[in-house]
Amino acid sequence: MHIVDSAIIIRTFPVKSNQNVVKLLTRSHGIQTAYLSAGTKKKSVKNAVLQPLSLCQVTLKKNKNSSLLNLKEARIDIPFINIQLDIVKSTIVLFLADFLDHVLLEDHEEVGFDFLQKALQILNEIELGKSVYHLAFLVKMMQWLGIQPSLKKDKNHYLNIKEGVFESSSPNHPYYFSKSETQLFAYFVQSEWTQLSEVRLTKEERGSFLNNIILYYTFHIPGFKKPQSLSILEEVFS
């Protein structure tokens, strides 16, 4: 098996003293996991895999001794200079990489490579609206995972987190978005990335909305766990 494809680096982690494993999302072959020698001398490969969510061109080859592929070549295709130089943006990327590692599984048929590529390019470019970017991303990502609730005409008052539906009255349990949060959720579903600058939230409002989104994923993605990097994100926005 020989794959040459565009890819987004999701995660890199050591498995042996001289080997790393790289989880990546490819445009044409979905989620792939590959070995990378920790002693590789190719600077382009090291730079690519050490940057979470970097956009790369990769070459993957079959491994005779394992079901995992070997990552033979990797070079950054689109450099995200602004993300690297901005502590808020780089922290958002760290959080999103952690999140995507939890939700993107190898059996996903449609994982939205083009959506992710565009979303990352937007993050690299925007200034106004970056404080709510991660909220919009998590809402928009639901569409590609098949768990986004359908908007209902005149009934989008409360989003029932447990059932994943919009309702005209508040549910008889505590797991739901408030009216204002439901309106914001619907706004993120329908709006373009360029409209994020129109959203103004306090630290408390942003935190409450994020916690409800994480709770939504917990209910609707089997085995989903709160990303460990969430605490770092909260600290940056505190």
Q: What is the 3-state secondary structure (H, E, C) of 14-68?
A: EEECCEEEEEEEECCCEEEEEEEECCCCCHHHHHHHCCCCCEEEEEEECCCCCCC
Mean pLDDT along residues 116-121: 95
pLDDT at residue 235 greater than cutoff 60 = yes
CB-based contacts of 188, cutoff 8 Å, min separation 6: 135, 136, 139, 140
Task: Please state, for a pLDDT cut of 70, what percent of the chain lies above it.
Answer: 90
pLDDT of residue 46: 62
Mean pLDDT along residues 7-33: 86
Using DSSP's 3-state secondary structure scheme, residue 176 falls into strand
Residue 192: pLDDT band (50, 70, 90) is: very high
Residue 17: pLDDT band (50, 70, 90) is: low
Comparing 145 with 15, the larger pLDDT belongs to: 145
Domain 81-236 has CATH 1.20.1440: yes
What are the residue ranges spanned by the domains of the chain?
2-78, 81-236
pTM across the whole model:
0.91
Per the listing, tokens 């602004």 go with 82
pLDDT at residue 101 greater than cutoff 70 = yes
Give the architecture (CATH level 2) of 2-78.
Beta Barrel (2.40)
In contact, 98 and 227? CB cutoff 8 Å:
yes
Task: Please state, for a pLDDT cut of 90, what percent of the chain lies above it.
Answer: 63
